[in-house]
Amino acid sequence: MEADAHQGEPKRVLHVGCGPLSPEKLHGVFRGPGWREIRVDIDPAVKPDIQASITNLRKEVADASVDAVWSSHNLEHVYDHEVEPALREFVRVLRPAGFALITCPDLEAIANLIAAGVERVAYVSPAGPVTPLDMLFGLRSAVERGNYFMCHRTGFTQERLGNLIIAAGFHEAHVLKGQSYDLWALGLMPEASREEINNVLCANGLAFHACA
């Protein structure tokens, strides 16, 4: 993959832990002709563009070659000691004005649910009912069917995720609590325009700062 984008070409978003092909898996900010999705997953069954672990993409993705990284419910699937290497890979592949958008379960919100009943259904997803136990350890129905990639191996609070993003080498980290027992994080590279990126996110229903 070439490090320099040609003028006029769509921006590139590296969709890590992409799962099966579906336009709905992309956040709204990355949909449309202005972006080209590059799908990455460790599971060959989902037919990604790149089959690899997010902890080491050096053979597949060049330095400073993408404009954004989109990680949706992906980081909790790697082992705890692999989180920082994965985030460092995000930094490595991003261009100086790029950013990473990350969402994952919120351990604090899950802890509150556990106190009310570990097997109580919190919500129903397209994959079926989800309980606090599923949020903590991974969707048990999928694991039971043999999809061990769905296991959760670590977890995050708002403070911990922000600290890890900075430790990995991002210039800025902004983390907020979502509406579905989740966290949302924005990691900015040194030349990224916080205002411009926030305004684009605002237009797609996600605001880390006041919208213009």
SS3 of 186, please? strand
Residue 111 lies in a domain: no
Asked if residue 128 belongs to a domain, the reply is no
Spatial distance between the Cα atoms of 36 and 67, rounded to a whole number of angstroms: 10
C-beta atoms surrounding 10 within 10 Å:
13
Query: What does the pLDDT profile of the chain (212 residues) look like in tens digits?
Result: 334 445 678 999 999 999 999 989 999 999 989 999 999 999 999 999 999 999 999 999 999 999 999 999 999 999 999 999 999 999 999 999 999 999 999 999 999 999 889 999 998 888 889 999 999 999 999 899 998 988 999 999 999 999 999 999 999 999 999 998 999 999 999 999 999 999 999 999 999 988 87
Task: Please report whether residue 42 resides in a domain.
Answer: yes
Can you give the residue range of the structural domain that contains 70? 11-106+154-203
Residues 6+ apart with CB under 8 A from 196: none
Nearest residue to 72 (alpha-carbon basis) of 99, 91, 47, 100: 100
Kindly report the CATH number assigned to the domain that includes residue 86. 3.40.50.150
Overall number of domains in the chain? 1
Region class of 52: left (phi > 0), else alpha (psi between -120 and 50), else beta: beta
Is 27 a member of any domain?
Answer: yes
Q: Is residue 29 part of a domain?
A: yes
